Amino acid sequence: MSARAEGTAAALPPIAIPRRRRRIRGSSIAVFVFLTMVALFVAIPLYVVVVTSFKPIEEITLGEIFNLPVRWTIQPWMKAWNELCTGLACDGIKQGFFNSVAILFPSLVLSIAISSVTGYALALWNVRWANGFLFVLFICAFVPFQIIMIPLIIIVASLGIFGTVWAIALVHAVLSMPLLTLIFRNFYKDIPRELINAAIMDSGSFWRIFREIVLPMSGNIMVVVLILMITTVWNDYLVGLTFGGISAKPMTVILANSVITSRGEAIYNVNMAAALLTAVPPLVVYFALGRFFVQGITSGAIKG
């Protein structure tokens, strides 16, 4: 009844004719080679730093930068953590690590709290001048830091917190507010207005709707923003340098000071270990949450 055997096909034996179509084209091989070379270009610096940080200094002076350590040692890592010198003090990079952690958490809380609420208000509540304000934020997100640096120093100094981790966290919150607000707003504006209208009808207040309806829907965007902020704050150098004074320097500043500006004899393996220690936290975030990471880094970029 069905058309399984129809026309001339019926004359052929009813078995499938096997096909081998997996032709590997020459161009595919060329592309593969090219991509591999690019991947090597990107991967090799990390490899070089890792092997250097595990080599004793005698092996480094041989100049074979790509060789694996003959004798593996974690001595450089210990020294970087405990004894790295900046100027005259040799307290290691550990103080910088603790400072960076102390900066990171208030920065995250402050910036996400302000930006998410602002984004929510602008996206879902009828604020007449919302579009104008968004445009201003869009410009603010991209102005160079130097144009507001000096007044911010004066403001922070007058608040009496200059040279503390709080100053750095506050400035991070200010600097990141425009971009994060735009990201939150773009996410929240896709929440159907009917949902909010229904919630208002059910006598929900502004804050209650935020807490009970909007926040629970924000899981994804929170992860994205967290990754973006952790990377930004941890990797920042300029804000930490400008507002950290002497006692609140983040890890990047201590690293840069000890390696770049100090005049002593360079201890390369210790320097590389210190650089790795500084790079590890965001790298861990990256390798653990790669998919969100890409989204986080690009979401700030494309939408707007």
Partner 1 sequence: MALRWSWAAPRIALVPALAITLVGFAGSIGWTIFQSFTQSRRFPDYVIDPARWLSQYERLFANETWWTALQNLLVLAIGSALAIVFGFILAALVEREKFGEGVFRTILLYPLAVSLIVTGLVWRWIFNPSLGVEAFLRANGFPDASFNWLAAPETAMYGIILASIWHGLGFYMALMLAGLKSINTEIWSAARLDGVGVMRLYVEIIVPMMKFTFLTCAILLSLGVVKAYDIVVAMTNGGPGTSTWTPAYFAINAYSTRSNIGFASAAAVIMLLITLAIFLPLVVITAWQARRSEQVRG
Partner 2 sequence: MPDVRFEHIVKRFGTLSVLEDLNLTVADGEFLVLLGPSGCGKTTLLNLLAGLLDVTGGRITIGERDVTELDPSQRGLAMVFQSYALYPTKTVEGNLRFGLAAQKLDRAEIDRRVAWAAQLLQLERMMSRKPSQLSGGQRQRVAIGRALVKHAGVLLFDEPLSNLDAKLRTEMRLEIKKLHQALHQTIVYVTHDQIEAMTMATRIAVMDQGVIQQIGTPDEIYERPANLFVARFIGSPAINTFDATLAIEGDRVLARHAPTGIAIDLTRHAFGRRPEAGAPVVIGLRPEHFAVDGAVREDDAVRLSLPVRYSERTGSDATAFLEAGDQLVAIRIEPSLMPSLRIGEAMNASFPGEKLSVFDARSGLRM
Q: Is-contact 254 86, C-beta < 8 A?
A: yes
CB of 255 to partner 2, least distance (A): 48
Residues 33, 61, 157, 247: which binds partner 1 (CB under 8 A)? 61
Residues 139, 194, 201, 263: which binds partner 1 (CB under 8 A)? 139
Interaction residues for partner 1, span 205-264 (CB under 8 A): 205-207, 231, 234-238, 242, 252, 255-256, 259-261
35 lies in the site for partner 1, by CB under 8 A = yes
Q: What is the C-alpha to C-alpha distance for residues 300 and 190, in angstroms, rounded to an integer?
A: 16
Q: Is-contact 225 112, C-beta < 8 A?
A: yes
Q: Classify residue 72 as exposed, middle or buried by CB count within 10 Å of its CB (0-12, 13-18, 19+).
A: exposed
Interaction residues for partner 1, span 150-169 (CB under 8 A): 150-152, 154-155
CB of 67 to partner 2, least distance (A): 44
Q: Using CB distances below 5 to 8 A depending on partner kind, what does residue 10 bind out of partner 2, partner 1, none? A: partner 2
CB of 40 to partner 1, least distance (A): 9
Interaction residues for partner 1, span 81-110 (CB under 8 A): none
The CB-based long-range contact list for 4-10 (8 Å cut-off, 24+ gap) reads none
Residue whose C-alpha is closest to residue 248's, from 85, 39, 70, 96: 96
Q: Is-contact 289 226, C-beta < 8 A?
A: no
Identity of residue 45 = P
10 CB neighbour count, 10 Å cutoff: 9
Q: Is-contact 233 173, C-beta < 8 A?
A: no
Q: What is the C-alpha to C-alpha distance for residues 7 and 193, in angstroms, rounded to an integer?
A: 59
Our CB check for partner 1 shows the closer of 93 and 165 to be: 93
Q: Please report, as ranges, the residues that interact with partner 2 according to CB under 8 A.
A: 1-10, 12, 14-19, 21
Residues 174, 224, 225, 270: which binds partner 1 (CB under 8 A)? 174
**Both tokens of residue 269?**
């393996």
Q: Using CB distances below 5 to 8 A depending on partner kind, what does residue 275 bind out of partner 2, partner 1, none? A: partner 1
Our CB check for partner 2 shows the closer of 22 and 263 to be: 22
Residues 18, 21, 26, 66: which binds partner 1 (CB under 8 A)? 66
C-alpha dihedral over 20, 24, 25, 30, to 10 degrees? 170
Residues 38, 74, 78, 217: which binds partner 1 (CB under 8 A)? 38
| Bridge partners for 89 per DSSP | 86
CB of 22 to partner 2, least distance (A): 9
